[in-house]
Amino acid sequence: MNANFLQTPISYLKGVGPNRADTLGSELNIYTYLDLLHLFPNRYLDKTSYYKINQLQSSGADVQVLGKITHIKTVEQKRGKRLVATFIDETGQMELVWFRGHKWIRENLKINEPYVVFGRATRYGSVFSMPHPEMELLSEHEKNLKIAMQPIYPSTEKLSSKGVTNRVIGKMMQQLFLESKGNFPESLSKKIRDELKLISKSEALINIHFPKNQELLAKAQFRLKFEELFYVQLQLISKKLIRKQKIKGLPFETVGNYFNTFFAEHIPFELTKAQKRVIKEIRNDMGSNAQMNRLLQGDVGSGKTIVALMCMLLALDNGFQSCLMAPTEILANQHFNGLKELLGTMDVNIALLTGSTKKSIRTIIHEQLESGTLHILVGTHAVLEDKVQFKNLGLAVIDEQHRFGVAQRSKLWHKNKIPPHILVMTATPIPRTLAMSLYGDLDISIIDELPPGRKPIKTVHRFDSNRLKVFRFMKDEIKKGRQVYIVYPLIQESEALDYKDLMDGYESISRDFPPTEYQISIVHGKMKPKDKDYEMARFVKGETQLMVATTVIEVGVNVPNASVMIIESAERFGLSQLHQLRGRVGRGAEQSFCILLTSHKLSEDAKTRLQTMVRTNDGFDIAEVDLKLRGPGDLMGTQQSGLLNLKIADIVKDNQILKTARYHAIQLLKNDPNLKKEENQMILRAYTKMMKQSSIWNYIS
């Protein structure tokens, strides 16, 4: 087959034409033959059996019946009319019903001719009725390409209204296979196909669109899912290898005075085994000649900051500066204060640069950075400005990196002639499956234990009807000298959603916690930053006992004395958000509590989320459940999930296939890093095409 055949515009396919081509493009992103070929069915109807009318059940399944129409009539109903045809076979009779398109159907139906009808049969009294059935004359049915299992393709309302039905797409697909003679270039080596007993590319494509039976369909799905994930992994792993081979790093060979003094005299507590292991992994990276690109995952409170600081001191021992970039001013402030406190009396020059840093201070920071007298810069996006020039940036630490785009990260790279080592930190645990797919080009370190002395947070779920008991509990905790967070999902009343908004909540809490006895802070996204900071500061200093807030407190604030987190309308929050919010308490030595308040009306997903929160404090466990509930796109946000715009594989359900694909991609690159061997030429061809185009499926053929 001519290699360019699949790049033919879809309008040239018989039966498509310019109007349909426009609709296919705007609705399903189908512009070429190749795009159509990779429109995979999302389910199948098994058309291997024919039912007799007396065998029909009210099971909700689609069935296929052979018979003929004896009579057609129009029935008046409250709104409009319905068209009813009597359909019989040798065992009984049923009704076929249409609520629209009467004229066309009447003109085209043939009386007393054998038809095969297909649809969902429902019982009304003793008679079965099938609304809007698919119909085919038996003579046509026998002539058509025999598809035992009928594919159901993704569709949209606009496609249906323009007449591009599932059947029409099926016809287009048949035409495409007719023109291509079902012959498609292979894109995996014989070695991989033999090892995994994979069917050929052409067989897989035929059987994904026109499966003869369940077994062949399963083989086709496995082959195509493996291939898609294999190329994703190949791309990520080769990126990592190229970086390690070609991008020289700054070798930090010395473990000197700064690191050792801090370790011996300033560490506030014994490091956990996990922290020691991670520091060792990072030291190995920074000591080699390759540039480090490492993702550091650890739950809220697991001690990532101290690990980052020790890496910065290592940079300083080798004569290099470091920077730590955080997504918000609150978080940048907190990192700055936290690092200053940890460093104590050590002779380390550290500064903070955010959008609200005064011009006079900025000037000093710029000068000190360029002269090299400023050792560590903590900041927000302000760090990326062109004016900010380092003398010798050796390490860039990025916190909560999913909030920064790729372009922003690459700006940091160019702050030094040799790219600095990069350490990316996140307190949002990323399930292993996702990490392999999204961060497959990074090395990953995990801090999976909390520092000693931390008590796990007790989490309970209570309904609104228990509110008074919850308030009593809060008062008891405040009497002990503790502080309480109360978090709401909305700021303003939304008519559509009957949830207590923040101001309502604030008023009702003020009634139960009168200002004569209690001080309340309020924080939400519509406040000016300085007002927000003022309220936050009052709470941090312990001047207020209650903090009523929206989710703006999700990341960052560290108040060891706050021991109770109340989450109102908890059913409205996602799992990772609930987990992040819970992480705001439990930072001191006292027992902390998280109370999830909800209405009685809960969806199944909401119940699963609440049960998960009550059951476990393990962020990775929670992330796995979240991934199953929401899927990868939602979990990572659009920036990250672009890469995972997968056509057939699902990284959650196909976790095992993903691991197999990663293993084979690693083996392949280990044995043939540049894909020069004869046996890997077809992989190289497919891979080269892929690197030119953005979508993974555009190149596999």
pLDDT at 404: 55
Q: Which position has the token pair 């004395």?
A: 561
Comparing 349 with 619, the larger pLDDT belongs to 349
pLDDT, one tens digit per residue, over 500-519 is 467 778 888 899 999 889 99
pLDDT score, position 689: 81
pLDDT confidence of residue 637: 44
What CA–CA distance (Å, rounded) separates 392 from 603?
54
Amino acid letter at 545?
Answer: Q
**Of 147-161, 190-204, 490-504, 534-548, where does the model show the most confidence?**
190-204
pLDDT reported for residue 643: 47
DSSP conformational letter for 494:
B
Outline where 148-263 has alpha helix (H): 157-161, 166-180, 190-195, 201-209, 214-246, 257-261
pLDDT of residue 693: 62
Segment of 59-73, 239-253, 378-392 carrying the highest mean pLDDT: 378-392
Distance separating alpha carbons of residues 411 and 408, to the nearest angstrom? 5
Q: To the nearest whole percent, how much of the chain has pLDDT over 90?
A: 45
CB 256 within 8 A of CB 317: yes
Answer whether residue 63 shows pLDDT above 50: yes
Contacts of 83 (CB under 8 A, 6+ apart): 72, 73, 74, 75, 97, 98, 99, 102, 105, 106
What phi, psi does 61 have (nearest 5°)?
A: -90, 155
Degrees to nearest 5, angle at CA 591 with 619 and 298: 25
Are 257-288+303-426 and 458-616 equal in CATH topology?
A: yes
Per CATH, which fold does 1-41+151-183 belong to? DNA polymerase; domain 1 (1.10.150)
Structure tokens given for 249: 């790093």
Query: Residue 149 pLDDT > 60, yes or no?
Result: yes
Note the pLDDT of residue 495. Answer: 41
Confidence of residue 545 (pLDDT cuts 50, 70, 90): very high
Q: Convert the pLDDT of each residue in 424-477 to its tens digit.
A: 888 777 777 677 666 666 788 888 887 777 788 999 999 989 999 999 999 999
Q: Cα–Cα distance between 86 and 70 in angstroms, integer?
A: 6
Mean pLDDT of 348-375: 94
The dihedral through the CA atoms of 670, 674, 677, 682 has a sign that is positive
Domain boundaries, the chain: 1-41+151-183, 48-146, 257-288+303-426, 458-616
Q: Where are the alpha helices (DSSP H) in 372-458?
A: 406-413, 432-438
29, 270, 399, 471, 591 from 308: Cα distances, Å: 44, 16, 10, 40, 28
pLDDT in tens, 603-642: 989 999 999 999 998 887 888 888 778 766 554 443 343 4
Place of tokens 């399930």: 431
- The pLDDT value given to residue 571: 92
Choices 3.40.50.300, 3.30.365.10, 2.40.37.10, 3.40.630.10: CATH for 458-616: 3.40.50.300
Confidence check: pLDDT of 159 > 70: yes
- Paired sense of beta strands 562-567 and 520-523, if any: unpaired
What is the layout of strands, in order, in the sheet containing 62-76? 122-124, 127-131, 92-98, 81-89, 62-76, 114-120, 134-137
Highest CATH level, class, for 257-288+303-426 = alpha beta
Phi, psi dihedrals of residue 487, rounded to the nearest 5°: -110, 135
The model carries a pTM of 0.65
Residues forming beta bridges with residue 257, ordered by sequence position:
none
Strands 593-598 and 458-463 turn out to be parallel
Mean pLDDT over all residues of the chain? 85
Q: Which fold has domain 48-146?
A: OB fold (Dihydrolipoamide Acetyltransferase, E2P) (2.40.50)
Residue 498 has pLDDT above 80, yes or no: no
For 130-187, where are the alpha helices, taking DSSP H only? Answer: 138-143, 157-161, 166-180
pLDDT digits (tens, 9 = 90+) for 197-216: 999 999 999 999 998 877 88
Cα 398 from Cα 267, distance rounded (Å):
22
Instruction: State the Cα–Cα distance between residues 634 and 362, nearest whole angstrom.
Output: 38
Whole-number pLDDT of residue 121 = 85
Does the pLDDT of residue 337 top 80, yes or no?
yes
pLDDT at residue 68 in the model: 95
Q: Inform me whether the pLDDT recorded for 555 exceeds 60.
A: no
Integer Cα distance of 185 and 699 in angstroms: 11
- What's the average model confidence in pLDDT over 66-74? 93
The yes-or-no verdict on residue 380 having pLDDT over 60 is yes
Kindly state the tokens that stand for 551.
């989710």
Asked if 138 contacts 115 with a C-beta cutoff of 8 angstroms, the reply is: yes
Return the SS3 of 72.
strand
- pLDDT value of position 386: 86
Name all contacts of 695-698 with Cβ < 8 Å and 24+ positions apart. 695/645, 696/228, 696/231, 696/232, 696/235, 696/645, 696/646, 696/647, 697/34, 697/38, 697/228, 697/647, 698/34
